[in-house]
Amino acid sequence: MITSVNWISDLPLLATAAESEYAPFVLAGVLLSLVIIYLAGKLGGELSKMMDLPPVLGELLGGVVVGISALHLLVFPDSGVIASESVVITTLKFMGNLTPEAVTAIFSSQSESISILAELGVIVLLFEIGLESDLQELKKVGYQAAIVAVVGVIAPFTAGTVGLIFLFHIPVIPAVFTGAALTATSIGITSKVLSELGYLKSKEGQIIVGAAIIDDVLGIIVLAVVASLAKTGEVDIVNVIYLIVSATIFLVGSILLSKFFNKSFVFIADKLQTRGKLVIPAFIFAFFMAFLANAIHLEAILGAFAAGLVLDETDKRKELDQQVVPIADILVPIFFVTVGAKVDLGVLNPMASEDREGLIIAIFLLIVAICGKLITGWSVFGQQGINRFAIGCGMIPRGEVGLVFAGISEASGILEKPLQAAIIIMVISTTFLAPPLLRQALKEISSEVKENADIS
Amino acid sequence: MITSVNWISDLPLLATAAESEYAPFVLAGVLLSLVIIYLAGKLGGELSKMMDLPPVLGELLGGVVVGISALHLLVFPDSGVIASESVVITTLKFMGNLTPEAVTAIFSSQSESISILAELGVIVLLFEIGLESDLQELKKVGYQAAIVAVVGVIAPFTAGTVGLIFLFHIPVIPAVFTGAALTATSIGITSKVLSELGYLKSKEGQIIVGAAIIDDVLGIIVLAVVASLAKTGEVDIVNVIYLIVSATIFLVGSILLSKFFNKSFVFIADKLQTRGKLVIPAFIFAFFMAFLANAIHLEAILGAFAAGLVLDETDKRKELDQQVVPIADILVPIFFVTVGAKVDLGVLNPMASEDREGLIIAIFLLIVAICGKLITGWSVFGQQGINRFAIGCGMIPRGEVGLVFAGISEASGILEKPLQAAIIIMVISTTFLAPPLLRQALKEISSEVKENADIS
């Protein structure tokens, strides 16, 4: 019959035959890295939980243990590590006869894939935080919470930035970025302590929770602005105003258009018949908003957060929430463990004299982080007898959003390693310190209430 | 206070500052690609569903439309495309002032990330198929189904491979690979037609469903063997035996150890307190098994499938199933759309004389695919009056596993484009043809049953 032997060889050759050849090794490297990430994250998270701390802290510490600071199971070329120092790559070398070029190419491809998965993780995290932040609830807590939030953003931001510039002679851009990392309160740990002690519905509890939510929003706007400043590398006042205005318009605009988005979303989700009929349109929206925010020079996570806030208002919310949870469960730990793995705590070795400056900066940041939030309690007005110390303590823990700053700075190379490590130490320390302080502060209320009860 | 300005510059510079600089563009490219993938997949899937065809077919065709064959919205460097031909990259160029080197680097990183996501998609798909295949059910359908399955694997495999080698002078390795792609039956579409017409519990229905499940298992073993052969590039009989034995031991071994795995899994999942307590251990297991299969030179998907089969036996199964569904919903379409996008149907243009050979091969494959399965009906023994034609028709559609072959061949560069395109056309055509043929065949049973009823 037909006997042309050459029809295949007439076609253009595959452009990246070399890459294809390594493909199984890259995949093996990604799979092994994911196994390490999940094991470290889960072990750390569970240990953290046992000690009554938020699991995210354990995921971060799990990352530190498997990362560049200790076991070298999960390392990245942008930390200045070479392929042969990676335990994953060494394992892959046992599997096949790899040339040194192949090893470098595989290490770079594998690391890039894990980094993209981590970035998708933080996008899904912010989408989920958006879904869980109730706009209606936010409107109720009102002015008191808003003032506490604004003071709690401005005070540590100003003190941190000014201190870094004048005391430590850090250049303006990294100083502003680090100052910004001091702003966002983590709602998770505080609300857990409040609910344990039965104070979630108290005046203090309501103000803290409301302020923490507003803080998240302000923190993400601040992040979008400073990260964008860092890209251009100069602080241009016109640019700062453009960024603040565009970030605010982006967020407020999405919220104002949320009725329209919501109706379209519900309409489309109701029409669809195939699998993923809720979660796929939601992710199309979230990823598109993330892309849009990125395209107008803000941060992708701002878009994902806005998408979450918007879809939170639909009657599909509960069902969507439920389906986003397992997706977040497998993607978000990749982000936190990776952030931990990339932090080189070795740069803050107290034994090495050249590292002491970094350690002193870490201590400075911690003091600013605590004092900058403690004073928020005294910004509350018109509330006689309110426990101002408890409100201040409740605002201390930094969590997810603070780590998001560290992660973004890593991805964009804004901060030098010691500053990055100092931020991580600040986040970890505030999270450890807040629960005992808050418990102490709330005991004071208890005894006051008791005294009042005794008098009456 | 401390006034050293140089402590930061003393540290080693970031190794890949250039990569970091492009990072936001790579992320933007990945996000935009995912939006395109989800839109194409969902639109295609829904249209397919409306026409009573399986959604996966629509996802594949959606991929063809946005891919290299048509719109160029989703293209990959390994298809011989350059960066400027990608609509996503052109969009990114509008966002920032990118140098040609930056564009090439971003295109390559973005494509690699999407390819890894697609590979994770097919791993999750096979894990899910494993979770849904009930081992107990498989034991019940017994010998009849096993014989139908084995004949349905051997007949098209042999006819396809021998035909390609002797009629079309295709080299042995691609011929064996293409022959293997003809083996696996898609259970989805057939069981849907059977249940629509109320024949799922009939003798014919039971045999078809049982045979299709066994087919999947055999197909995945065949895939693991031939893909591994393709890597070494030569058919060495010792190697073939090693691969068949190791694939079988791997699968049977996992099943035999499943009691142990299951008890450990349930024990661990019960102990865990934090989020993802079911899904994270399950994915650790699945990804580790996938890595292990890869490490012993089989395919990663075999490991994921084995992990699914094993965890299917636990009492956590239902809960786990529920949580894996949304994860599969967002990852699996990336695989199918990407497979479609990478297929260049242009290489089978009937107008171009040099492409006709490819078209003729596609027609040959389709005939082998249909006849090779039709004859399985006549391998059933000891069943008087059974509808042999209906059983044969039920085995015709190729689906997910056939596409997995096309995807794997793409990733490893085994097949030239016309053969790849011919496989895709074979999968699409069998899926379109099977439902009307099966409906016709089952109508024959209906009238036979009626006649028998009339006589008695």
pLDDT digits (tens, 9 = 90+) for B335-354: 989 988 988 888 877 787 77
pLDDT of B355 > 90? The answer is: no
Burial bucket for residue B377 (CB in 10 Å: 0-12, 13-18, 19+): buried
What is the residue type of B3? T
Angle at A309 between CA A305 and CA A313, to 5 degrees: 160
- Using an 8 Å CB-CB cutoff, list chain B residues near A121: none
DSSP state of B99: -
Element holding B3 (H helix, E strand):
none
- Inspect the interface and report whether the beta carbons of B327 and A325 lie closer than 8 Å: no
Number of domains within chain B: 2
**Closest CA–CA distance from residue A129 to any residue of chain B (Å):** 15
Average pLDDT over every residue of A360-367? 93
Q: Has residue A7 been placed in a domain?
A: no
Same domain, A94 and A180: no
> Å from A433 to nearest chain B CA?
21
The residue type at B48: S
Is the CB of A54 inside 8 Å of chain B's CB atoms? no
CA dihedral B249, B254, B255, B259 (to 10 degrees): 140
B380-394 pLDDT, tens digit each = 877 777 888 988 998
> What 3-state class would DSSP assign to A122?
helix
CA-nearest of B148, B194, B147 to B437 is: B194
A81 and A171 within one domain: no
Measured in angstroms, the CA of A274 and the nearest CA of chain B are apart by 6
Which helix H or strand E contains B193, and what residues bound it? Answer: helix B187-196
How confident is the model at residue A448, as a pLDDT?
56
- For residue A301, what pLDDT is reported? 85
Residue scoring higher pLDDT (B426 or B444): B426
State the smallest CA–CA distance between residue B447 and chain A in angstroms: 33
User: Confidence class of residue B20 from pLDDT cuts 50, 70 and 90?
Assistant: low
Range A258-293 burial, b when 16+ CB lie within 10 A, else e: beebbeebbebbeebebbbbbbbbbbbbbbbbbbbb
Answer whether B268 touches A (CB < 8 Å).
no
Q: Tell which residue, B432, B193, B50, has the closest CA to residue A273.
A: B50
Least confident window among A212-221, B285-294, B362-371:
A212-221
Q: In this predicted model, what pLDDT tens digit does every residue of A72-83 receive, in sequence order?
A: 999 988 777 888
Q: Which residues contact B409 (CB under 8 A, 6 or more apart)?
A: B177, B181, B230, B415, B419, B420, B423
Quickly count: other Cβ atoms within 10 Å of residue B61's Cβ: 22
Nearest to B424 by CA among B18, B61, B27: B61
Sign of the torsion angle spanned by Cα atoms A121, A125, A130, A131: positive
Mean pLDDT value across residues B415-443: 84
Whether residue A177 sits in one domain with residue A215: yes
B101, B121: one domain:
no
**Contact in structure between A157 and A183 (CB atoms under 8 Å):** yes
Chain B residues whose beta carbon lies within 8 Å of the beta carbon of residue A283: 34, 38, 330
Lookup result for tokens 């498989």 = B138
The answer to the question of residue B13 being in a domain is no
Residue A36 is assigned to a structural domain of this protein: yes
Q: Are residue A202 and residue A65 in the same domain, yes or no?
A: no
Torsions phi, psi for A276 (to 5 deg): 75, 25
What is the structure's pLDDT at B41? 96
The confidence band for B399, taking pLDDT boundaries of 50, 70 and 90, is low
Write the CA distances from A40 to A184, A321, A326, A378, B309, integer angstroms.
26, 26, 18, 41, 26
Please, which pLDDT band fits residue B212 given cuts at 50, 70 and 90?
Answer: confident
- Between positions 280 and 309 of A, the ones with CB within 8 A of B are 280-281, 283-284, 287-288, 290-291, 294-295, 300
Alpha helices, DSSP H only, in A182-236?
187-196, 203-232
pLDDT value of residue A188: 64
Q: How far apart are the C-alpha atoms of A26 and A83, rounded to whole Å?
A: 13
pLDDT number for residue A217: 78
Burial A207-220 (b: 16+ CB within 10 A, else e): bbbbbbbbbbbbbb
CA distance B285 to B217: 19
Residue A8 reports pLDDT greater than 80? no
Question: How confident is the prediction for chain A on average, in pLDDT?
Answer: 83
Predicted local distance difference test score (pLDDT) of residue B7: 34
Contacts of A360 (CB under 8 A, 6+ apart): B2
List the single residue in B50, B272, B300 with the smallest CB-CB distance to A27: B300
What is the 8-class DSSP label of residue B16? T
Q: Chain B: nearest CA to A32, how far in angstroms?
A: 6
Q: Which of A62, A88, A114 is the last residue of a domain?
A: A114
B187-203 confidence digits (pLDDT tens): 666 777 777 777 777 88
Question: B299 with A99: CB under 8 angstroms?
Answer: no
* pTM recorded for the entire structure: 0.86
Alpha helices in A51-171 (DSSP H): 55-66, 87-95, 100-132, 135-166
The reported pLDDT for the residue numbered A9 is 31
pLDDT for the residue numbered A18: 38
d(C-alpha B337, C-alpha B121), whole Å: 11
CB–CB contact B31 A294 (8 Å): yes
- Predicted pLDDT at A13: 30
A159 and A68 belong to one structural domain: no
Q: Which amino acid is at B346?
A: G
State both tokens at A239.
């640019």
> Which domain does A159 fall in, by range?
122-447
Q: Supply the Cα-derived Rg of chain A in whole angstroms.
A: 24
Q: What is the mean pLDDT of residues A426-433?
A: 85
Tell whether the model's pLDDT for residue B451 goes beyond 70: no
Q: Do B112 and A115 touch (CB under 8 A)?
A: no
Secondary structure of residue A343 in the 3-state scheme? coil
For residues B236 and B293, state if they share a domain.
yes
Residues of A in contact with B19 (CB under 8 A): 78, 112
Q: In terms of domains, do B105 and B129 share one?
A: no
Report how far residue B209's alpha carbon sits from residue B188's, in angstroms, rounded to the nearest whole number: 9
Query: Which residues numbered 107-126 in A keep a CB inside 8 Å of some CB on B?
Result: 109, 112-113, 115-116, 119-120, 123
Which residues of chain A have a CB within 8 Å of the CB of B5?
169
For residue A109, the tally of other CB atoms under 10 A from its CB is: 24
Residue B179 to residue A198: CA distance in whole angstroms: 68
Residue B299 lies in a domain: yes
In this prediction, residue B23 carries a pLDDT of 79
The residue among B133, B124, B148 whose CA lies nearest residue B251 is B133
**Cα–Cα distance, A436 to B377 (Å, whole number):** 73
- Is B456 inside a domain boundary? no
Is the domain of B108 the same as that of B120?
Answer: no
Q: Nearest Cβ partner of A1 from B1, B11, B167?
A: B167
- Of B51, B85, B114, which closes a domain? B114
Residue A74 C-beta-side C-alpha neighbours within 13 Å: 34
The alpha carbon of residue B184 is apart from the nearest alpha carbon of chain A, in Å, by 23
> Of the ranges A139-148, A397-406, B26-35, which is most confident?
B26-35
Instruction: Identify the DSSP state of B298.
Output: S
Which of B114, B26, B78, B109 minimizes the C-alpha distance to B337?
B114
Q: Which of B85, B73, B78, B80 is nearest to B32 (CA)?
A: B73
**Residue A4 located in a structural domain:** no
Question: What is the separation of C-alpha A179 from the centre of its chain, rounded to a whole number of angstroms?
Answer: 16
CB atoms within 10 A of CB B200: 17
Sign of torsion over alpha carbons B17, B19, B20, B21: positive
Residue numbers in B near A168 (CB within 8 A): 1-2
Report which residue type is found at B331: L
CB distance A418–B11 less than 8 Å?
yes
One domain, residues B266 and B384: yes
Chain A contact present for B418, CB below 8 A: yes
What distance in Å separates the CA atoms of residue A270 and residue A278, rounded to the nearest whole number?
8
Average of per-residue pLDDT across B216-224: 80
Of residues B5, B26, B284, nearest to A35 (C-beta): B284
Structural domain includes residue A8? no
**Which residues of chain A from 162 to 191 reach within 8 Å of chain B, CB to CB?**
167-170
Residues B10, A235: contact at Cβ < 8 Å?
A: no
Of B7, B273, B354, the CB nearest to A10: B354
**Both tokens assigned to A308:** 């979450």
HSE value, Cβ hemisphere, 13 Å, CA-based, for B177: 31
Taking residues B276-301, report their average pLDDT.
92
Interface test mutation site (partner A, options B92, B275, B327, max chain A beta carbons within 10 A): B275
Contact A354 B7 (CB under 8 A): yes
Burial (CB count <10 Å: 0-12, 13-18, 19+), residue B146: middle
Same domain, A250 and A369: yes
Q: Which chain B residues in 232-251 lie under 8 Å from chain A, judged by CB atoms?
A: none
Which pLDDT does position A20 carry in this prediction?
A: 57
| A274 with B45: Cβ contact below 8 A | yes
Note the ipTM here: 0.86
3-class state of residue A309 by DSSP: helix
Q: Is B24 on the interface with A (CB under 8 A)?
A: yes
How far apart CA B456 and CA B440 sit, in angstroms, is: 25
For residue A70, the tally of other CB atoms under 10 A from its CB is 12
Q: What is the pLDDT of residue A5?
A: 34
Asked if the Cβ–Cβ distance from B31 to A77 is below 8 Å, we say no
Q: Alpha-carbon distance A31 to A200, whole Å?
A: 42
Tell me the two tokens of residue A51. Answer: 């000690």
Is residue A167 pLDDT above 80, yes or no? yes
Distance CA A109, CA A19 (A): 10
Structure tokens that stand for A50 in this block: 């046992």
Indicate the Cα dihedral angle A368, A371, A376, A377, nearest 10°.
170
B426–chain A nearest CA distance, Å: 19
Among A51-65, B77-91, B109-123, B254-268, top mean pLDDT goes to B109-123
Angle at B144 between CA B143 and CA B149, to 5 degrees: 95
Mean pLDDT, chain B, whole residue set: 83
Distance CA A297, CA A299 (A): 7
List the CATH number of the domain containing A438. 1.20.1530.20
Cα angle for residues A130, A134, A138 (degrees, 5° grid)? 115
Distance CA A438, CA A393 (A): 5
Asked if A26 has any chain B CB less than 8 Å from its own CB, the reply is yes
Share of chain B above pLDDT 90, in %: 31
A164 and A58 in one domain? no
Closest chain B CA to residue A9: B416
Amino acid code (one letter) for A118: A
Q: What does the pLDDT read at residue B447?
A: 59
Domain limit, last residue, from A114, A143, A175: A114
User: In this structure, is residue A276 part of a structural domain?
Assistant: yes
Sign (positive or negative) of CA dihedral A120, A126, A129, A134: negative
More confident site: B405 or B93: B93
Tell me which DSSP letter residue A257 carries: T
